[in-house]
Amino acid sequence: MQDGIVNNQPQQAFRTDSGGQHILRIDPPTFYANNVALKTSIFDMTMVFGVMAEVQGDVLAVTNVATVIVSPQHAKAIAALLTNHVEEYERQFGALPTPLSPPAKTLPGNEEN
C-alpha cells in the first residue's frame, strides 16, 4: 500500500447471463483512509479521504487519496447507515472510544482549500 492506495486500477470482469448477453462488471478502486475532511454547500457535501502520517511531534502530513461528492440527502442516508453499522459493531465487540483530542497541525501545502 502506497499513500493509502490499496488498488487504484478498476478491476473488470466479464460474464454471460442466462440469455447469452455479455455483461461487463467494473469494480471501483479501493483506498485506505484514516482521515476525512468535510466540505458543505447548499447543493452538495464533499468528503475528502486521506492518509495521515506523523512527520514530527504534533505535525501531521495528510495525503488525499479520494474525494466523494454527494447530495445532502445522500449524506444523511450515509450517516444513518454508518451509525447503524457502528452500533452493531459495538454490540458485538464493545464500545469504541471517542477521540477527544483536537486536530493536530498540518504541514503547509497539505491543508484543505
| Tens digit of each residue's pLDDT (9 = 90 or more) over 36-88 | 999 999 999 999 999 998 878 878 889 999 999 999 999 999 999 999 999 99
Domain that holds residue 35: 5-70
Structural domain contains residue 27: yes
- Number of domains into which the chain is organized: 1
- 3-state SS, the chain, equals CECCEEECCCEEEEEECCCCCEEEEEECCEECCCEEEEEECCCCEEEEEEEEEEEECCEEEEEEEEEEEECHHHHHHHHHHHHHHHHHHHHHHCCCCCCCCCCCEECCCCCCC
Per-residue confidence (pLDDT) for residue 7, from 0 to 100? 60
Structural domain contains residue 95: no
Given a cut of 90, whether residue 12 has pLDDT beyond it is: no
Structural domain contains residue 14: yes
Structural domain contains residue 82: no
Structural domain contains residue 79: no
Structural domain contains residue 42: yes
Q: Kind of pairing, strands 22-27 and 30-31?
A: unpaired
Instruction: Please state the pTM of the whole predicted model.
Output: 0.65
Structural domain contains residue 65: yes
Structural domain contains residue 47: yes
Per-residue confidence (pLDDT) for residue 70, from 0 to 100? 97
**Residue 40 grid cell:** 458543505
